Amino acid sequence: MLGIVTLAILHLRKEKVRSYDWESGDLVVFKYKDIRKLTKHFSEKLGEGGFGSVFKGTLPNSRAIAVKRLKNLQQGEKQFRAEMSTIGQIQHINLVRLQGFCIEGEKRLLVFDYMKNGSLENYLFHENSNLFLDWKTRYKIMIGTARGLDYLHEKCRDCIIHCDIKPDNILLDDDFNAKVADFGLAKLLGREYSHVLTTIKGTRGYLAPEWILNDAITAKVDVYSYGKLLFEIMSGRRNIEFSDDGSYFPALVAEKLNEGEEGLTQFLDKRLRGEADSSELARACKVACWCIQDDEKDRPSMGLVIQILEGLLEVGTPPIPRLLLLLGFTKQNKSQPRVNQDYTFSTSSSISWNSQDKASSWSPKPLFAEAAQQKPLIFNQV
């Protein structure tokens, strides 16, 4: 009997998870064996992306956590710990906070707060009526996401470019506040274009032209992706989708704005049944179209985006991006476009997607006089 009791005690000790000071605010360094237990051997998978897979876990105090198991990292332990220390210091209400990490051998794992309402993706692209977002909530998410990005771009010691803004990386807390996730992860991979582009090749529908053309990138690539995100929040459909007649949603919005602000409700998610604040809708459409301008200098900063969405600044009607004209997505130059498997576009009148063509294809000369008259970007304070 004594032997059985002894074995039972040893078993309990073996299974016991180390006590971590989660409430101190300091970054927690986890043991890999503990993370395995907290996630029940990674049994509940929440999602998967270019940087790795995410699993749900539960701390001994019943607090839920999200564990991201990273892949394809070449960093040494010292450099990884330094990056974790930097990312761990970034705190903002609209950013998912890093709470801890694990590094053992080749294993690299990150521990975050668990977001009960999941990602924005689930609410935009699924017909489940239980996952419906009204206009007020959508607009709050637009502003919250912008605030999170503005903090990364302007308020951190070094500008942090997210590099992968999309609905799947916008998480929602219990009150549906937007929380930008996966920021700082591109920095872990390094700045080699081939590595980064390969990692996020599944989301090229959000990549700015200069990124695809392999030019140097700035924070304005996030602004471009944010513009594409706004189209999806408004419409409830992916920005790479086309209507039955071959029309492309961002191009339709850009053309409609150039005709006037009436009738923008036709572009809303059908589940909204046309119910949206008309002023907010017009602002969101204008911001989205300014954000996807071809030249990064014509795109607003995220700080300006916040002011426009909040009604503190007025913005003029944006020109139709030249890329949409060149690709034949507009009424001025109509042809049937096609989305390639890597989410780039091709059409009979399309430009080529390589750096050798950019000198002729990306001339700053506008294709129509109206575009020239509407530049430079001008904002009027309310």
CB-based burial label for 276 (10 Å; 0-12, 13-18, 19+): buried
Residue 104 has pLDDT above 90, yes or no: yes
The pLDDT tens digits of the residues spanning 73-98 come to 767 788 888 888 888 889 999 999 99
Residue 66's pLDDT is 96
Region 270-276 average pLDDT: 92
Residue 245 has pLDDT above 90, yes or no: no
Q: Is 298 a catalytic residue?
A: no
Region 184-202 average pLDDT: 51
Tokens read off for 108? 């690299």
Token look-up 């000790």 returns 13
Higher pLDDT, 374 or 181: 181
The pLDDT tens digits of the residues spanning 157-189 come to 888 999 889 999 999 999 999 999 988 776 665
Those residues with Cβ within 8 angstroms of residue 24's Cβ, 6 or more apart along the chain or in another chain: none
d(CA 98, CA 304): 27
Residue 166's pLDDT is 94
Residue 325's pLDDT is 78
Residue 288's pLDDT is 96
Those residues with Cβ within 8 angstroms of residue 202's Cβ, 6 or more apart along the chain or in another chain: 49, 50
pLDDT grade for 212, boundaries at 50, 70 and 90: confident
Calculate the alpha carbon distances from 100 to 84, 107, 114, 125, 171 in Å. Answer: 8, 14, 13, 31, 18
Torsion, Cα of 245, 251, 254, 258 (10° steps): -60
Quick check: 38 and 65 in contact, CB under 8 A? yes
pTM attached to this predicted model:
0.80
Least confident of 161-175, 251-265, 349-363, 364-378: 349-363
d(CA 295, CA 302): 16
Count how many residues are written for the chain: 382
pLDDT grade for 362, boundaries at 50, 70 and 90: very low
CA 236 to chain centre: 15
The percentage of the chain sitting over the pLDDT mark of 90, rounded to a whole number, equals 48
Residue 119 has pLDDT above 60, yes or no: yes
The angle formed by the CA atoms of residues 361, 161 and 78, to the nearest 5 degrees, is: 130
Across 335-358, b (16+ Cβ under 10 Å) vs e yields eebeeeeebbbebeebbebeeeeb
Residue 4 has pLDDT above 70, yes or no: no
Across the chain, what does the average pLDDT equal?
A: 79
Residue 243 has pLDDT above 80, yes or no: no
Domains of the chain, first to last: 24-113 (3.30.200.20), 120-381 (1.10.510.10)
The pLDDT tens digits of the residues spanning 39-82 come to 999 999 998 877 789 999 999 999 999 999 998 776 778 888 88
pLDDT grade for 376, boundaries at 50, 70 and 90: very low
Binding residues for ATP: 68
The pLDDT tens digits of the residues spanning 295-324 come to 999 999 999 999 999 999 999 999 999 888
Higher pLDDT, 176 or 22: 176
Residue 171's pLDDT is 97
Q: How many CA atoms lie within 13 A of 126 on its CB side?
A: 13
Residue 111 has pLDDT above 50, yes or no: yes
Quick check: 237 and 230 in contact, CB under 8 A? no
Higher pLDDT, 228 or 184: 228
CB-based burial label for 255 (10 Å; 0-12, 13-18, 19+): middle
Catalytic: which of 150, 164, 222, 269? 164
